[in-house]
Chains A and B, each alone.
Chain A
Amino acid sequence: MNLSLNFVALKTIVRKEVVRVLRIWVQTIFPPAITMTLYFIIFGNLIGRRIGDMGGYDYMQYIAPGLIMMSVITNSYGNVVSSFFGAKFGRHIEEMLVSPMSNATIILGHVAGGLIRGLLVGALVTVVALAFTRVEVRHPLITLSMVLLSSTVFALAGFINAIFAKKFDDISIIPTFVLTPLTYLGGVFYSISLLPEFWQRLSLANPILYMVNAFRYGVLGTSDISIATAYAIVLLFVVVLFAVSLALLNRGIGIRE
């Protein structure tokens, strides 16, 4: 593989993705900030006052890391799925397919785009959170690494969704019927210790639970699950989803006749 060619190509895709995110910031950056502000006002401030403490923190503090992670996950996923499917739909994916850059570069470029949008939105939501509560990061390395890894997982998942998608409905089905329920049931708003045992065990099958809890551990120092398990699961997802993306692209599934 020609490394310098692929490095330039990677930078080009990342630049293109950043230009796209910033060009349509009203759709990509602004709405999540508004949504999360409403979450903080309604769940954190109005309802949260009645709920009291959770995991030893007031409710607003407890949900802040989960809401930040939720916005990172959904925006990383949303960026890649819409950008890559848009390229398929508009046929400008052919610009990349005819070029000599490797398929791994195409994946990495789009994942980096998803990561950048996820982090931009995550930073904005953090600023919003600071207006409502204190956010003191206990373990910066865990916080940063977990947000990067989780963002990567969902950017890759968005990529696979875009590969299989044939129409615009197909890129909203997974976020609506899979991603959103898993996120809401992933411990963003509550500790799973509040659930009956059966539901606690079922919750452990939700990968988002590990991401939210590890991230919350990085910020607050409290978690429902083992941090080592969370890293193992998230790393496994990164490797498996990347391998699946690469295999699909190499075989031309969904992109070549």
Chain B
Amino acid sequence: MHALSIRNLRKTYPNGIEALKGIDFDVAPGDFYALLGPNGAGKTTAIGIICSLVNKTIGTVQIFGHDIDTDLAAAKACIGLVPQELNMNLFETVQNIVTNQAGYYGIPRRKALQRAEQYLQELRLWDRRHEPARNLSGGMKRRLMIARALIHEPRLLILDEPTAGVDIEIRRSMWDFLQRINAAGTTIILTTHYLEEAEHLCRHVAIIDKGTIIENARMSTILRKLQREVFVLSLREPLASAPVLPGFEAALRADGELEVAVDADHSLNDMFQALNDRNIAVVSLRNKANRLEELFMRLVEGKSAGQAEAAG
């Protein structure tokens, strides 16, 4: 049984916009699954349908075997949602927001208070529990939405851009927390624009663009498709011009650093050998772009170019 199974899911809004054009995908139990795509690709619409916030036009959605058309309450009970936009009563206290959510899932108040303490402690919000949510910082509000989504201990947690606008330190601590709950058995679906985040956390990735899924595979498989990576090298001695490195494309940047493109036929050792042969000493090296980001741009831009060509 899949944690989530979607077949031929379509959504056309009353204004005629076709947000989803018949998508299919499955998420295995225990997976950490990235759902990526540019703005307006249909990610949030898909999540809205899964969580019953948006009416679908056609198609089926099953959560741990519960169909949202025939067994909606059981399907809903399996899901915890951290939405993209803040959707809490900012005048309500932190503790009440979490315990009320527990109540909506049928968890008695005494038990809800115990769980609220557990999750608010873990997400470092316990000291602020009696304060209204409007007093919290942006990062704290995001963490509060995670605590709220977990209070009924869902089997499937859906996070729609949970780290948007959150500083690096909090983002890293949220990553650690999400990895811990995933290791404990919670299936997680994540949408994010930080592709480094998806690459770091997720084992499976689907890329959605203009309402269709254009890629769906294991993260390791998808990254192997990357035929070419560009590295930026800091050099011990500045160069007057870009060196000729046989088998590699090299370009000198305005800041004096050297960009070298390495394709799948060559290794980094080959590149360093070529640099050594020319007595070029390298102090440090970094990827020009995140690997998934490079692939993502290639897929999305490639599809757009293909469509333009077909249209032309």
Asked if B100 is at the interface (CB within 8 A of a chain A CB), the reply is yes
Which listed residue (B53, B105, B108, B109) contacts A97, Cβ 8 A?
B53
Asked if B79 is at the interface (CB within 8 A of a chain A CB), the reply is yes
Asked if B241 is at the interface (CB within 8 A of a chain A CB), the reply is no
Complex Cα–Cα for A15 and B148 (A): 18
Interface size on B, residues (CB 8 A): 35
Asked if B175 is at the interface (CB within 8 A of a chain A CB), the reply is no
- Chain A facing B: main interface SS: helix
Complex Cα–Cα for A5 and B91 (A): 26
CB distance from A256 to the nearest CB of B (A): 5
CB distance from B72 to the nearest CB of A (A): 8
CB distance from B253 to the nearest CB of A (A): 45
Contacts of A5 in B (CB 8 A): 73, 105-106
Contact at A100–B103, with CB atoms within 8 Å? no
Contact at A100–B74, with CB atoms within 8 Å? yes
Contact at B108–A256, with CB atoms within 8 Å? no
Complex Cα–Cα for A8 and B52 (A): 21
Interface-facing stretch out of B82-90, B222-230, B297-305 = B82-90
Contact at A12–B100, with CB atoms within 8 Å? yes
- Which B residues between 97 and 122 are near A, CB-CB below 8 angstroms? 100-109
Contact at A94–B96, with CB atoms within 8 Å? no
Complex Cα–Cα for A94 and B87 (A): 7
Interface-facing stretch out of A43-51, A85-93, A140-148, A219-227 = A85-93
Contacts of A12 in B (CB 8 A): 100, 102-104, 109
Contact at B89–A9, with CB atoms within 8 Å? no
Contact at A99–B88, with CB atoms within 8 Å? no
Contact at B106–A6, with CB atoms within 8 Å? yes
Contact at A98–B79, with CB atoms within 8 Å? yes
In the complex where A98-B52, A100-B106 touch, is A92 in contact with B87 (Cβ < 8 A)?
Answer: yes
Contact at B103–A11, with CB atoms within 8 Å? yes
In the complex where A2-B106, A98-B79, A99-B76 touch, is A257 in contact with B87 (Cβ < 8 A)?
Answer: no
CB distance from B82 to the nearest CB of A (A): 11
Contact at B55–A102, with CB atoms within 8 Å? no
Contact at B106–A95, with CB atoms within 8 Å? no
Contacts of A139 in B (CB 8 A): none
Contact at A94–B104, with CB atoms within 8 Å? no
Asked if A254 is at the interface (CB within 8 A of a chain B CB), the reply is no
Contact at B55–A9, with CB atoms within 8 Å? no
Residue-wise interface mask of B (9-30) relative to A, using a CB-CB cutoff of 8 A (1 in contact, 0 not): 0000100000000000000000
- Which residue of chain B is the closest to A16 with respect to CB atoms? B100
Residue-wise interface mask of A (36-76) relative to B, using a CB-CB cutoff of 8 A (1 in contact, 0 not): 00000000000000000000000000000000000000000
- Which A residues between 95 and 115 are near B, CB-CB below 8 angstroms? 95-102
Which listed residue (B53, B54, B77, B83) contacts A100, Cβ 8 A?
B77
- Which residue of chain B is the closest to A9 with respect to CB atoms? B104
Complex Cα–Cα for A152 and B253 (A): 73
- Which residue of chain B is the closest to A24 with respect to CB atoms? B91
- Which residue of chain B is the closest to A92 with respect to CB atoms? B89
Asked if A176 is at the interface (CB within 8 A of a chain B CB), the reply is no
Complex Cα–Cα for A19 and B92 (A): 9
Complex Cα–Cα for A252 and B73 (A): 15
Contact at A102–B73, with CB atoms within 8 Å? yes
CB distance from A98 to the nearest CB of B (A): 5
Residue-wise interface mask of B (258-292) relative to A, using a CB-CB cutoff of 8 A (1 in contact, 0 not): 00000000000000000000000000000000000
Contacts of A102 in B (CB 8 A): 73
Which listed residue (B53, B88, B89) contacts A98, Cβ 8 A?
B53
Asked if A23 is at the interface (CB within 8 A of a chain B CB), the reply is yes
Complex Cα–Cα for A256 and B13 (A): 11
Contact at B104–A91, with CB atoms within 8 Å? no
In the complex where A94-B53, A256-B53 touch, is A101 in contact with B85 (Cβ < 8 A)?
Answer: no
CB distance from B4 to the nearest CB of A (A): 15
Which listed residue (B54, B85, B103) contacts A256, Cβ 8 A?
B54
Contact at A8–B53, with CB atoms within 8 Å? no
CB distance from A46 to the nearest CB of B (A): 40
22 residue pairs bridging A and B, Cβ less than 8 Å apart? A8-B108, A9-B105, A9-B106, A11-B109, A12-B102, A12-B103, A12-B109, A23-B91, A86-B89, A90-B89, A90-B90, A94-B81, A95-B87, A95-B104, A98-B79, A100-B73, A100-B77, A101-B105, A256-B54, A256-B55, A257-B13, A257-B48
Closest 6 CB pairs of A and B: A12-B103, A5-B106, A99-B104, A91-B87, A100-B73, A100-B76
